[in-house]
Structure 1
């Protein structure tokens, strides 16, 4: 029986399980075959830009390998009953070599030691269209905090989008998660590198 990652406000109908403990077919079901998730497979912060000549199938194989080999992370899967309904990428920052190159992180994160495995990052949410507007992302954000803390995180960092700061935000641009969602999960804003993007943290080392 796989262990569950729980959050205090998690709706009873949803449960969250580490990706290492579920069939990879359930990960594939969440990412689907169309759109950005199926062409990225959560490799945006992991592989060099030169690697984007790889096929979608090759990127998918990388994620499958990372899940199989990962001690902690790279993500969580949310279920409604037996149906996989969402993915959240969460893991120590050293596993994300491309993260320091992103301007929002390089200019906004107060913690610039990217070799520190006690600092974790929440970087991506995938919720299939049929399961949106049900709070799946919020459940995953809370579960990601619990999972990181249980596995030794000192800090959990996220890079929220603030839809109120832009005239129109396509759904595809919300994959990092929203500021309001992270606030509800207990994060606080620590920097605003751009009007529409915030660096947000939970620091367990502050009690």
Structure 2
């Protein structure tokens, strides 16, 4: 069965990919870039999951999910940049006034890796943004030049993952993750 990409509108499926095993753990829930820094810092433990429960009910929801044979297997966080912490960061440049969408997280659950789900998530996230009128999508992956990236830091993706989806490098950044520079990749969606 092919990988199915759907908007993240079902909390239980989103929690299966993003939530911690212990509901009281202080996990990211992919909120670090979605929220402004103060709100992100203030939300603790179960409140983080409850915040995601609210976000999946919004239009548009906070990202897309990948289903592998009907099982929630992956996530891509994508939303208008203006609604993310990237709107205020100084480390990742703003190229112009285009109301771009940011794709900041690509995560595949253990047991589902090695099946091309990351590629499907990036492509599905782009189509999701396109369907909501996005003129362009930006991503901020590491430029690892083929070197191994620690799995805990691989959520931002790699330059080659986004190049495979048609993104081009638009700018360098002042951001570094896991010892690798992050680059600004962009895909224009206008005809």
Q: TM-score range by the shorter chain?
A: 0.7 to 0.9
**3-state SS in 1 of match to 2:16:** helix
Change in Cα spacing, 1:161 to 1:61, as seen in structure 2 (3 Å) is same
**3-state SS in 2 of match to 1:161:** coil
CA RMSD in angstroms comes to 2.3
2:132 maps to 151
Does the 8 Å contact 2:19/2:29 carry over to 1? no
**3-state SS in 2 of match to 1:121:** strand
Change in Cα spacing, 1:51 to 1:120, as seen in structure 2 (3 Å) is closer
Report how many aligned residue pairs link the two structures: 183
**3-state SS in 2 of match to 1:160:** coil
Which contiguous aligned blocks of 4+ residues in structure 1 show a shift greater than 4 angstroms?
none
Gaps of 5+ in 1: 1-11
Gaps of 5+ in 2: 175-179
1:92 maps to 80
Q: 1:40 aligned to 2:28?
A: yes
Tell me how far 1:38 sits from its aligned partner: 6.6
Q: 1:54 aligned to 2:73?
A: no
Match of 2:110 among 116, 123, 129: 129
Q: Give distance in 2, aligned partners of 1:71 and 1:146.
A: 15
Which one has the bigger helix percentage? 1
Q: How does 1:1-207 map to 2 (within 5 A)?
A: 13-20=2-9, 23-33=10-20, 39-45=27-33, 46-49=35-38, 51-68=40-57, 70-96=58-84, 98-105=85-92, 107=93, 109-111=94-96, 113=97, 118-164=99-145, 169-193=149-173, 196-205=181-190, 207=191
Does the 8 Å contact 2:172/2:182 carry over to 1? yes
What TM-score, normalized to structure 1? Answer: 0.79
